[in-house]
Structure formats: structure tokens, C-alpha cells
Amino acid sequence: MCASLPWKLVFVAGCIHLGTSELTSAEPVQFRVKDINPGPEGSYPGSRPEAYLAVDGTLFFSANDGTHGSELWKSDGTTAGTTLVKDIHVEYYSFPQHFASFDGRLLFTATDGLETPNYELWTSDGTEAGTFLVKDIKSSGGSYPDHMTAFNGLLFFEAEDDTHGRELWMTDGTEAGTVIAADINPTGGSGPSDLTVCGGELFFSASDGTHGLEVWKTDGTQAGTVMVKDIRPGEDYSFPRELTHVNGVLFFSAGYGDRNLWVSDGTEAGTVMVKDINPSYTDEGPLRLTNVNGILFFIVDDGTHGYELWKSDGTEAGTMMVKEINPSPAEGYRPNWLTNVNGTLFFAADDGTSGIELWKSDGTEAGTMMVKNISPAVGDSSPKWLTNVSGTLFFAANDGTYGIELWASNGTAGGTVMVADINPSGSSLTGGGGLAFVNDKLLFPADDGTTGVELWGVDLTLPAIPAVSDWGLVSMIVLLLGAAGFVLAKRQKKGTFWNVPFFY
């Protein structure tokens, strides 16, 4: 269990003497990175998930320090290294959002207040001087760039200018190199979305004004931007969504009233429905498409079992329900937060008995199981923010006693533990944002009940060893490893584990 957790072992010569002050920790595992907005209000770092992104060892996020409003901040995981990057809108808020990493820089949208509204494309290298407007795409208002995706050395996105509607744009990070890639709908906007790189091509959903929303692809030129297939002929829309790359082919859901799983190799002939999973009317179809080492996992209602976990290899025969997790005929919680951790799918699900808990799957019925009933007494632990950090799953959950706090799991019940109780009087992980791995630290927004929602961290290089005076009742298991061993110490009042190494 412990070998998979990312915390390093620290060897202490001699014996362990429980009940003395000899065994202490130099620093707590969890720490508040910085109180950006002093007082109880909080700065709400990354209050929106699209405004929270790690770029080459720096976490960029939006935050409000109580003076400058919601502006662009950065952090390297230290107090000194957590600073305001630039006050873009000096009179109000710039509301930075839609973060994307490109060529070692951050690309994002913001408003500087010179026009109202004027959300445009900005870039930052983490310095004030290196944070600037890339291009004023729409002079009469904001171009509202969105769906930013790197492809072939450029960043593609959706935006509108003074002449065209919402179309496909591209940039190399310079004003001159920010241009419209293709005017797909000359009479309006094509509304490109779900931009996804697959097999050396960029796929997306768009409408040319003659056909409805269908799957398109581009090589970055007007001539090389074409509709892949008119799934619902004419002006009708097939509404492609959740475009997902798996082993060089594109999976997506499409249809209207008959939405199902589709696959494409980029050609019209090679774009086909994989399987008619639900022959009756369905307007939602497959959801939460997730690539796990070459297998597509998703959830869907087949008209009989409700929303359950499915998988597909791109063939009709290879598309099947993995397991009926909840046999209840009434629709309940749909499996959510599908996350790949070293080839194992982790997700949140409700079996109808234990409530919403942490599950895992290897793609087989026997290998699909609840990892741990985290909240057996109260009901749902509702895992969220599932994040793979060096082969260990980190997430937020509520055990019914300590509120919503940070947890970690190696896929076993014994190895699923609460990392920290940041808010002793309630829940700490209640805001937006998420978990970001930066410089061996896991950074996230949390509320300790005193300072409001601020940026917190867990140092994954430090041993999580509490002072002996804090332990209370301790249970210990000695594992012998050749000439050395270590003890797993569980402080039962917290429900978390620490590695306590020693020589014997």
C-alpha cells in the first residue's frame, strides 16, 4: 500500500519510542500556501475550473485579493512565489478564464475595461511585462475566445471579429500570427466547439449554414477545413459532442432523439455508428467518454438498465456494459468523474445501497468494484476532483465526520485514506478550481473555516508524521523489508496514515 503513495520515507536511526517527544514532524503535510485576501472572506483561487491551470511548473489561477478584484495570479507552491501577475483591469475585474497552455506560456481570455465588453485573447509568461493582449480581434466589443486547443504548433480556438460570426481561429502567440483559420459559415457563425486532436488532424463540431452541426476537421487552411460526414442530412443537426481520441480514431456521440456512439477515422466512409445502444428515444446518449489505455469507457442508458458503465473498442461486438452497478429500476446517480490512473478507471458511483462512493474498473465485470465505502454511516461520500498524481489518485470526499476533505487512494480499501482535515469545524473543499500538481506539491483551493477559500497545498516530498503528542490511540503494523522496515501509524481520530520509517 505505502509503496505506491508518493510521500518519501525518512529513515530515523534507533528505535521508536511511543509516548515521548522524540518522534515529531518538522512540518505538517498540509499548509496554506498564502492568505491572498486576509480575513474571513477568502480570495477564491480558481473559482471556475477553466481559470486554474499548471504550466511548466507554475500554477496560474484567478483570485481576488480584496483590492484588485478577480485578476491573474501565479504560484510555485510557496508563499513568496504566490503573487499577482498583473492587474489587467485597474478599475474593476478582468475575470481571466479559459486557460490553455501553449509553447510554455499561458493563453487566456480577459477584459482590460477599455471597451465594454471586450473579452479578448491574452498571454502570460508569469511576469507583468510578459502579460499582454495578443490581439484585439473584435474592435467593437469582445471576441470571446473559447475552446483553445494546441495543434501543429499553433493554438486553435473559436472567436468572432467585426466581419465574421463565431469561426475557427488560430494563433502563434503574436498579433500578426493571430488570424481566422477558416470562414466555415460565410452567412453567420459556424460555432466550432469540442476541438480535439486525433490522428494528426484537428476535429471539431460546426455548422456551415447549409448543414446542421456536424463533425468537421482541419489542417489549418481554408481548403483543408472540411465536413467529415453529414450524419443527419440537410439542415438537421446531429450535435456531435464529447469528441475523444482513442488509438488514432475519434469517438463521439451524435444524433437527435437517437443519439448513439460513433467512431471516425477522418473519412466519410470511415465515420459510422458503433452500436445502436438504445433503440428507443434518447437525446442524451453516451456521456463522459474517457480513454483508458486504448479502451473507451463511458456511461449510457440502454433503455433497460439506466445509466451504467460501458466500454468500447470501436466495434459493435466490443461495445458492452461493463457491469450493472445499480440494479434499481429507478434512475439515480449517474457514474461520474471518470479518471484514468495508470490503466485503471476510477469513478464515483452509487450501487443503490452504499450511496455515492469511490469505484474502480479494469474493464471486466469482476474487476469493477467499490474501492471503499468512505461514508458508511451517513450515506454519500460523493468523491469529486479525481486527479492522477504520479500513479496515486487524489480526490475530495466526505466521510460523514470531517466534511469534504482531501483523500488519496492506491485502489485498495486500506490504501484509501484522508490526507488532511483542513477545516476541523466543517468542509474545506467546497469551491471550484480543482487539484494541480506543481513542483512536488498538490495545490488546491480550500477553506479552513477561518480565512475563507484560499490556496492550500500538500507537500508530497515530506513524510506525513504528526507529533507524538497529537496521536491519541495508535495502531501499528510493522513491515520487514530486508534489513530495514517501516511502521504504518494510523491516528484513528483522523483516519489518515503516516509512514514512520526506522532501522531495527
Decide if 476 is inside a domain. yes
* pLDDT exceeds cutoff 70 at 234: yes
* pLDDT exceeds cutoff 60 at 424: yes
Amino acid at 475: S
207-212 — which CB contacts under 8 Å span 24+ positions? 207/237, 208/184, 209/185, 210/235, 211/235, 212/236, 212/237, 212/238, 212/239
> What does the pLDDT look like over 368-390, one tens digit per residue?
999 999 999 878 999 999 999 98
From first CA to last CA, the distance across the chain in angstroms is 21
> What does the pLDDT look like over 428-442, one tens digit per residue?
998 777 899 999 999
As beta bridge partners, residue 244 has: 251
Average pLDDT, the chain: 85
Quick one: 329 exposed, middle or buried, by C-beta within 10 A (0-12, 13-18, 19+)? exposed
Decide if 457 is inside a domain. no
Residue 483's domain comprises: 1-25+468-504
Q: Which of 176-180, 360-364, 412-416, 485-489 has the lowest mean pLDDT?
A: 485-489
- pLDDT, residue 281, reads 67
The CA-atom distances, in angstroms, between 318 and each of 314, 322, 343, 414 are 7, 11, 18, 34
Answer for the pair 216, 225: CB distance below 8 angstroms, yes or no.
yes
81/132 Cα distance (integer angstroms):
21
Q: Span 17-44, mean pLDDT?
A: 64
* pLDDT exceeds cutoff 60 at 500: no
Residue 471, all three cell numbers? 496521536
Among the listed residues 455, 456, 457, the one whose alpha carbon sits nearest the alpha carbon of residue 63: 455
Decide if 272 is inside a domain. no
Q: Span 406-410, mean pLDDT?
A: 96
Residue 389, all three cell numbers? 498524481
> What does the pLDDT look like over 295-347, one tens digit per residue?
999 999 998 899 999 999 999 999 999 999 999 866 778 999 999 999 999 99
Neighbours of 364 (CB within 10 A): 10
> What does the pLDDT look like over 175-205, one tens digit per residue?
999 999 999 999 999 999 999 999 999 999 9
* pLDDT exceeds cutoff 90 at 139: no
Decide if 164 is inside a domain. no
- pLDDT, residue 485, reads 36
Decide if 54 is inside a domain. no
204/192 Cα distance (integer angstroms):
6
- pLDDT, residue 46, reads 66
Indicate the pTM of the whole model.
Answer: 0.85
> What does the pLDDT look like over 45-94, one tens digit per residue?
866 656 899 999 999 999 999 999 899 999 999 999 999 999 999 888 89
The position carrying cell 493563453 is: 107
Q: Which residues contact 80 (CB under 8 A, 6 or more apart)?
A: none
Number of domains in the chain: 1
Q: Band of the pLDDT at 475, cuts 50, 70, 90? A: very low
* pLDDT exceeds cutoff 80 at 464: no
* pLDDT exceeds cutoff 80 at 129: yes
- pLDDT, residue 48, reads 61
* pLDDT exceeds cutoff 80 at 4: no
